[in-house]
Every structure is written in structure tokens, then in C-alpha cells.
Amino acid sequence: MSDKNDHIKDLSRRHFLRNSAITGVAGAGIAGGFGAGAMMGSRPAEAASNNDHHVEPGELDEYYGFWSGGHSGEVRILGVPSMRELLRIPVFNVDSATGWGITNESKRVLGENAPLNGDTHHPKVSYTDARYDGRYCFINDKLNTRVARIRLDIMRADKIVTIPNVQAIHGLTLQRVPKTEDVFAVGEMIVPLNNNGQNMDDTSEYWTMMTCLDADTMEIKWQAIVDGNLDNCDTDYTGRFVAASCYNSSRGMTLPEMMGPERDWTVIFDVPAIEQAVANGNTTTLGDSPVPVVDAREQAHDGRNPFALYVPTPRSPHGVNTMPPEGKYCVVSGKLSPTCTVIEWSRVAEWFDGGLDDPRDTVVAEPEVGLGPLHTTFDDRGNAYTSLFLDSQVVKWNVEDAIRSYNGDEVNYIRDRIDVHYNIGHIKASLACSRDVDGKYLTALCKFSKDRFLPVGPMHAENDQLIDITGQQMKLVHDGPTYAEPHDALMIRADQLNPSQVYTRDDPYFAETVAMAEADGIELETANTVVRDGNKVRVYMTSVAPNFGLTEFRVKQGDEVTVVVTNMDNIADVSHGFAMVNHGINFEIHPQQTSSATFIAEKPGVHWYYCSWFCHALHMEMSGRMLVEPA
């Protein structure tokens, strides 16, 4: 009989993942050795004193953390450094607690016939002068090729856009200066440009594009066709450039074809040049999409490409990250190369302005950091931190020393390494995508946790770790399980966000519902009445703890019923819910909010509704009846 703790002792799955991945890298022709600048032994995670980072009960965290929810289709808000989960924001998914995907208000945001699932990867908070301004959080849906905007005053998505002409929005980034006016989204998978079923077998005509959206209107401004595919992306600190990695420069359809060349590339777009082409009408459109498209492929231009620079980058580059606080450098991580490529933004400008001939002249360093570099983040002391998927480590290295080494100086640019558990993906230091980078904490989002937590069946928890980076050596602060799959995260200071505690009655989130009530002659703040329009019935009621304004209403079997509830409580945290038994209806109504849902009264009889959010000592008594008369 096997020992009940065999699941802890057996690390074969983790060993297999690492060893097979290394074999794959070696088979692809990647050098197994490292330069002298990169040599340093692995160091197990050293825990920092809990008292240094513990958040006592009743104390507030220093940072808001924005975590993508991955396959759940949501965004999660954590407090840092406590790592307490504060909120889950449904975006592309259905959420029974809030009624997202159930209420009329959320359905308007999601759009008609929208898929009710998603794969969120890269949360990005809006900027003013490269500092977080707390207005919006943008998030991608790789699964269904969408981009959403979340209002950070109410923590609810207010715009969702499906991106045409491409598939699988992966990388997402924002203009930093003077403020976030542009949102950049990359299509990862290559498809025929007019993907209408007519050109599926000619894979030489498969392409993808960079897409630019207007942050304020969420309308698509332009798209740019590129050579190869696109993966991750980031912007500079001038508002001129956006860079994206390409791991499939050969435009292969299979794994061996995608892994062919020794170098893929980083493609860098000159945004003002593209905007000028759009303004001049030097664009085309594809299929039935009206979006203006520019051609940024090398083959489309004789000589220098005015829209895009293709910088050869060692094999299968992945993460693209600009170094704060001034944004002098961009670091592209190699994934199937043990290197990171450091590009200097001023040299990119020099290339576009005609001063450089070789795209590789924009590269100022290429340090060897370890096996499987994926993403890089930064502190405020000139150090970079790169996640190593195969080594299950975070490596700390100094950027200026890496540049000196690239220029021939004998210098060790590696500062420290720390083990993480296991197979780390994204990594992000506190405020590290802004001018306010402070070098305090680092999040390590690990893909596997096999032996670290109690087993809960075939699906193992993943592992988020928090690391103190204030000293010369990194120290583990937190190690905890998380539900699949928090792909990426970022941290902003608590004072950079000012969420509302109570809705305002003129909030645009429920403006269409208010307009419907006005058309019915209803004053939502006082009305408790039923309006019938043929077989369409609109039920208006208020809620004040512990009562609904209507405790009974009558409809007929087959009626389309719209229930509109306005919460007239004025005190923060006195929220109500409206739950209609056996009808799949449940939604939130926060103080001064109006919410509504529509359903068919199919079954005659008595159907209770009740408040589903605890609000009062008499919460259980807060209920009423829908009486459905037989047809």
C-alpha cells in the first residue's frame, strides 16, 4: 500500500517538466553553458522576518495588487503585502454573486451573444505622466480576442471590444505619457488577413497585427500588419514607440517550424508615423471591418520601413519590459535562449530618424541570466529581476553592468538568485511599470506547486510568492496557493486609487435603465409599481434595509418580466441582492445603485424573491412573492 504522503515525496512531475524542457532547448541548438558574468549558484528561498511585513488585523495594506484571473475570465484585487484577496471583478465571465452576465446593465457591456468565458492575462492600470492615475484598468481576453476596460471607481467593466482581423489578443500595454490615450493589443495567432474561409490552405498568407484602441472611447484607431507573430509588448516613456516580441518569425504552423531560426525578433512601431499615415488616408481595410490598416511588413517597403523596426533577438523572445523610472532601456527575455536583450530607446529613435543602418545597433547588452528567461521587472536602484521558468528561479542583475560586460569589461552583473516554486511565469515589482518604482516587493507567479500545499484532487493549486527586494539578497515574504491561472500582476500604491463607497445617482453604468424608467414615467427613487406593456412587464421597486418596496407583484405565465431595483440606502457597505428563486436570477444592488434583470415567467404559481446580500438583523425577512397566473 502506498504511503499517503507519496504525493509530497514524489517530485517526478516537476523534474520531468524541467528536464524535458531543457532537452527541448538543447535540441533546438541553445548553448547549455553560461558566460562568466552569469555564473552564480542557486540559493534556496530565505524567509524574511514576518514582523517586517505582517499586516495586523484592522491595518490596511500599502499596495493594491491587480491580478489577472486567467481561465476564470476575471481580475482579482489583492492587498499587498498581506496578499489578502479583497475582490474579484468579473469581466468576461458570469458571476452569480454580483449578477455579472445576468443583469441588463452587464449584458450591455458584454454585448449581444457574447461568449461568457475568457482567458485574462495582462492587467494594466492607466497613467498620467507615467504614474498610475487610478482611472481605469485594461485587461485582455486571449480566448475570445477581446479587450475590456474596468472603471476603478466602481471596480466594474464598462467597455468590452472584440478586435477584428486577428485572433487571440495576448500582449496588452498602454501609452504612458502624457497620459494613457492609446491602448495597444497584439494578436498572437497568425491567420489569413481576410479570414473568411477562402484562403485557409495557403499558410504563406497567414499574418497578424498590432491594434491600437482609443482609451477614452474604446474605439479601434488602427491596425498594423507585421511579419511573424506577436506575443508580449510594452511602450517607451515618450509616447512614441511600442515594442512587441515575436516567437514565430518563420510563421510556422507546427512546433518544429516555429522553433526554426536561431533568432526571431522584437518589432518596434513608430506610433506617430502610423497615425500620420492614417490621417493621410494611406491605409486599407479588410473584409467588412472599417478599421484602417497600415502595412508594416518588411516586404511592403523598399528600403527603410517607416512604421516598424525589426530587431533580431535570440530565440523565441517572450517578455518585453521597459525599465523605469525614465524608460531608457527595454529588456526582451529570450525564453529559449539563456539571454535577455537590452534595447536602448534613444537608439530606436536614431534608427527611425535615419541615423543607424543595422537594427542590432539598437542593442546595448545581452546578458546570460539562466534557463528559460520569461519576464523582467525592475527596482529603483538600477537592477533588473528576470523570471527563469526552467531554473524555477528569480535572478537579479544590474543593467548598467550588463552593458559594460557587453562592451568588453570584466564585470559580474549578476547580483543574486532565489529559488521559487515552481516554474515561474510572470514577475512584477511594486510600481515597476511607472516612474514611482520603489524597489520594495516582487511578485512571483508560479505555474506549479505540487508539493507545497494540501492536495485537493487532480487539479493542483498554483503558487503566488511575494519577495522582499529591499536588501542585497532577496527574501521570501509570502507563499500561498491560488486558483488557476493568475497570469500576470501589478502593484500600485494605495493612495493612487480612490474607489467609490456609494454610487452617484447619475452614474452612466445604469443610465439606460434610468432612461427606460423615465419613458415609463417612473421616478426610480420612490416608485414601487408595475408597468405592463402587452406581455412585457416592468417591475420597479426600491430597497431600504430590511425591506423591498414591493413585497408582492402579479404577472401572467409567459410574460417577459424586467425587475428594476434601486437601493436607497446611503451607507457604505449596506448592499442588497435580488434573488428570484428557481429562475437563475441573482444580482447586486449597492447603495444608490439601480440594477435590473429580465426573464420569462414560465411557471404559474408562487415564486419567492429575497435579499441575497446580508444587510440587516432582519435580513432573512427581506423577501417578497411573484405571483404568476396561469395563461
Q: Amino acid identity of 589?
A: I
Give pLDDT, residue 52. 78
- Distance (Å) of CA 409 to CA 37, 218, 370, 401, 402: 10, 48, 20, 9, 9
For the segment 561-583, the average pLDDT, to the nearest whole number, is 96
Give pLDDT, residue 381. 97
What's the rounded Cα separation, in Å, for the pair 348 and 326?
15
Whether the pLDDT of residue 1 is over 70: the answer is no
What's the rounded Cα separation, in Å, for the pair 348 and 351?
5
Parallel/antiparallel/unpaired status of strands 84-90 and 74-80: antiparallel
Among 117-126, 276-285, 454-463, 520-529, name the one with the lowest average pLDDT.
Answer: 454-463
Residue 495 is classified by DSSP as G
Whether the pLDDT of residue 323 is over 50: the answer is yes
Percent of the residues in the chain that have a pLDDT greater than 90, as a whole number: 88
The answer to whether 103 touches 587, Cβ cutoff 8 Å, is yes
Q: Which residue has the cell 517572450?
A: 318
Q: Give 160-206 pLDDT, tens digit per residue.
A: 999 999 999 999 999 999 999 999 999 999 999 989 998 899 999 99
Whether the pLDDT of residue 47 is over 70: the answer is no
Residue 74 is classified by DSSP as E
The answer to whether 330 touches 320, Cβ cutoff 8 Å, is yes
Closest CA relative to residue 220, chosen from 276, 182, 194: 182
User: Measured on CA atoms in the order 71, 479, 12, 488, is the torsion positive or negative?
Assistant: positive
- Distance (Å) of CA 510 to CA 101, 383, 613: 14, 46, 20
Q: Amino acid identity of 526?
A: T
Give pLDDT, residue 300. 84
What's the rounded Cα separation, in Å, for the pair 606 and 625?
6
Whether the pLDDT of residue 157 is over 50: the answer is yes
Give pLDDT, residue 591. 97
What is the pTM (predicted TM-score) of this model?
A: 0.93
- Distance (Å) of CA 167 to CA 171, 195, 209, 251, 351: 12, 10, 9, 14, 31
C-alpha grid cell, residue 609: 424573491
For the segment 592-596, the average pLDDT, to the nearest whole number, is 98
Give pLDDT, residue 49. 61
* Reported confidence tier of residue 42, pLDDT bands at 50, 70, 90: low
Q: Give 396-442 pLDDT, tens digit per residue.
A: 999 999 999 999 999 999 999 999 999 999 999 999 999 999 999 99
The answer to whether 182 touches 204, Cβ cutoff 8 Å, is no
Q: Give 505-518 pLDDT, tens digit per residue.
A: 999 999 999 999 99
What's the rounded Cα separation, in Å, for the pair 488 and 390?
18
Give pLDDT, residue 34. 39
| Phi and psi, residue 615, nearest 5° | -135, -15
Residue-wise burial string across 236-257, b where 16 or more C-beta atoms lie within 10 A, e elsewhere: bbbbbbbbbbbbbbbbbeeeee
Q: Amino acid identity of 475?
A: K
Give pLDDT, residue 301. 87
Please return the burial class of 6, using the count of CB atoms within 10 Å of its CB with bins 0-12, 13-18 and 19+.
Answer: exposed
**Residue 272, preceding bond cis, omega within 30 degrees?**
no
C-alpha grid cell, residue 2: 502506498
Whether the pLDDT of residue 218 is over 60: the answer is yes
Q: Amino acid identity of 486?
A: P
Q: Give 258-294 pLDDT, tens digit per residue.
A: 987 899 999 999 999 999 999 999 999 999 999 999 9
Whether the pLDDT of residue 24 is over 50: the answer is no
Q: Which residue has the cell 518563420?
A: 250
